[in-house]
Structures are given as structure tokens and as C-alpha cells.
Chain A
Amino acid sequence: KQEVTQIPAALSVPEGENLVLNCSFTDSAIYNLQWFRQDPGKGLTSLLLIQSSQREQTSGRLNASLDKSSGRSTLYIAASQPGDSATYLCAIPKGNAGNMLTFGGGTRLMVKP
């Protein structure tokens, strides 16, 4: 059974800092990995999807990396802004074809002005 862990559970940084969020998983036979952002009381916004054959995926100030052999993914946020404050979740689909997502518990990020 796939288990997904995100550490730390909460992070507070000053504006402008570059930061890294971590996601670890127990079963390295993954199809892809998706990073989401969730604002308080809201639904999830997809940020990046990184396929199992990829090592990195970039969108604007965000860069996601994937290392299947070590069971890790990182989400790098460059030049953080107060508007980046949210909970960040990583998720992995079950099985080869990928259907249901298994989520980590999330990292709650606060970027202080």
C-alpha cells in the first residue's frame, strides 16, 4: 500500500526566500506525481504533474523534481511571495494506469511580508 508523507507539516518564511517542500512515498513504482495548492476552505488547484519518466517539471516560479529510486519529490518555490501562502499537497495515483490519488498530509506555508 502506497504511503505518502510531507514534512514539515507547516513552514513560515520571509517574503523573497527560495524554499523547498518535500514529499516522500513508499512504493517507487509510480505512474506520475501531482502537486496541488489549496487555499483555506477551498478546493485543490493543480500546479504540476510530473510523469514517472521525467526528472523535473517547471511552471513559472515553481519547479518539481522526482527521484523514484529514493521515493522523493520536491517542490521548489523561487522568490516566495505572500500570495504563495497556502497548503501544498502531493499526490500519487494508484496502480500502473493511475486512478485514485493517494495524498500526503500537506505542508501549510506562510510567507510573511
Chain B
Amino acid sequence: DTGVSQDPRHKITKRGQNVTFRCDPISEHNRLYWYRQTLGQGPEFLTYFQNEAQLEKSRLLSDRFSAERPKGSFSTLEIQRTEQGDSAMYLCASSLLAGAEQYFGPGTRLTVT
């Protein structure tokens, strides 16, 4: 396994459109995390999964955002009715256990025009 992968790497969309991102974690990792990072800032936590269960969601995750991890493997993050303020880098990470080292993917850069 070569690490955490994310697809697409870049997405440009018009305001009001829906977008979906995919994250494939390291295969034996049962914990998966989503973060968002805006320019010049550190990443901010959005949500995390243990296997297929979504255990915590940040207040940043408005009702336009939804995340799933249906079989406890890959995860998707969907943003409905995108706004310009959603423009950011969306990062996915995985870890083997709670409190263990988190490994990050390359991120998906979203630009909303």
C-alpha cells in the first residue's frame, strides 16, 4: 500500500453545484479523518470515522456537507450547493488506532467560481 489517496486532486466548480470527493485510506487503518485547510492556515477538523461509523462532526460541517464510509474502507465527502467560501484544500487522513500517527493524503483543491 502506497499511502492515503484522494481523488480528484483539483476541482473547479460553479457556485451552486454539488461536488463529491473520494478518499482511500491505508488499507489496515480503521480510522479516517477529513480536514479543511484555507490558504495560510492550519487544517481544521471536519469529521472522522471508525470503520463505517461517523463518530464526530465539527460545527464547520454545515448541513450542506455530508460524509460517508459505507463499507469501512474508502470515504466520500459531498458538498451540496457550493459557495465561494467552500474554496479550500480538503485533506483526508487515516490512522490505525485512536491517538496513533495520522497519515495524510495529497488533498483535493476545490475552487468555487
Contacts and interface: CB of A to CB of B under 8 A. Distances in A.
Given A101-B45, A103-B44, A105-B42, A42 B106 contact: yes
Contacts, number: 67
Interface string B86-109: 000101010000111111111101
Contacts of B56: 99-100
Interface in A96-110: 97-106
A34 B107 contact: no
A89 B102 CA distance: 13
Contacts of B103: 46
A93 B101 contact: no
Interface string B8-49: 000000000000000000000001010100001111110010
Interface residues of A, number: 26
A77 to B, nearest CB: 19
Interface of B: 4, 6, 31, 33, 35, 40-45, 48, 55-56, 58, 89, 91, 93, 98-107, 109
Nearest to A106: B42
A99 B43 contact: no
A101 B102 contact: yes
The 7 lowest CB-CB distance pairs between A and B, nearest first, are A98-B99, A103-B42, A100-B45, A44-B104, A97-B98, A43-B106, A43-B104
Interface of A: 4, 31-32, 34, 36, 41-46, 49, 89, 91, 93-94, 97-106
A103 B48 contact: no
B33 A44 contact: no
